Amino acid sequence: MTPNAKSLALRFRDNLVMALRFFSRLPTGGGPHERPELGRIAVVLPLAAVIMGISPVAVLVGGAALGLPAYSAATLSVAAMVVIGGAMMEDALADAADGLFGGHTRLRRLEILKDSRHGSYGVAALCLFLLLRVSALGSIIAIDPLLAGLVWLSANVAGRSASLWLAVDLPLARPEGAAATVGALPRRQFIVGAALAALLVFLGAPTLGVLIALPVLALVVWSWGRLCHRLVGGQTGDLIGAAAALGEITVLTVLLIFV
């Protein structure tokens, strides 16, 4: 391996470790923790999402192979994903629902977004998200457990990568918080990550379904971004995390039609 190739490989490894440390609770070794940079994370996030999804998919397929009812296997696999992701996506969705819909002014919405407690909107959004995940996966498991795992991986990869569009398109809604600490996301890095995500989705899900799901995903994330901009003037880490959850459910629902 040439010095340049070795340097690129090490850089890629470091970026992947950074993404896993930021988005998951998976062990990543004892190396030093670098300050997260969204530009570096974005290009490898699709692969990080695949790594995060391996164990939940194994639970899903293994549970079905052992004879568990489809919805029991789906519930256990969703629980595994929540644990591996540190419930970050779920917490972000709940906070975003409370913040955007529980306040009547921009400042009040931002105050609610910072509050770690969940209100009625947040609890309802969280419950619906988990129910939609479990019901979609359970339906596909009843047909083909392996296909269910691949479709879920595809939906998760697409949703996570697409959600980063908010960091490209919108300003920070407040100068502090998770979104502010990871820096700006250049458009080029977002495009590279999105292209890799699209490739992985095409490899893992029915082609016709993907051709319809990706434009629908783009529309949902864009619309969510417009809503965030109108209600709070920009994006936060919670709003990006909520976009990932909405994106996953969007792709999962569309692909469910073509299974």
pLDDT per residue over 46-64, tens digit each?
A: 999 999 999 999 999 999 9
Going by the DSSP 8-state scheme, the letter that residue 174 receives in this structure is S
Residue 5 has pLDDT above 70, yes or no: no
What does the pLDDT read at residue 40? 93
pLDDT per residue over 116-141, tens digit each?
A: 889 999 999 999 999 999 999 999 99
Q: Which residues lie across from 172 on neighbouring strands?
A: 235
pTM of the full predicted structure?
Answer: 0.94
Confidence of residue 94 (pLDDT cuts 50, 70, 90): very high
What does the pLDDT read at residue 27? 92
Measured between alpha carbons, how far is 239 from 163 in angstroms, rounded to an integer?
9
Q: Give 232-251 as a DSSP string.
A: HSSB-HHHHHHHHHHHHHHH
Measured between alpha carbons, how far is 98 from 32 in angstroms, rounded to an integer?
36
Residue 177 has pLDDT above 70, yes or no: no
For the ranges 2-6, 46-50, 158-162, which has the lowest average pLDDT? 2-6
CA distances (Å), 176 to each of 37, 65, 107, 149, 237, in order? 15, 47, 14, 37, 10
Q: Which residue has the tokens 């070794």?
A: 29
Mean pLDDT score of the chain: 93
User: Stretch 206-224: mean pLDDT, rounded?
Assistant: 97
What does the pLDDT read at residue 18? 94
What does the pLDDT read at residue 1? 59
Residue 229 has pLDDT above 90, yes or no: yes
Residue 3 has pLDDT above 70, yes or no: no
Residue 74 has pLDDT above 80, yes or no: yes
How many CB atoms are closer than 10 A to CB 140?
23
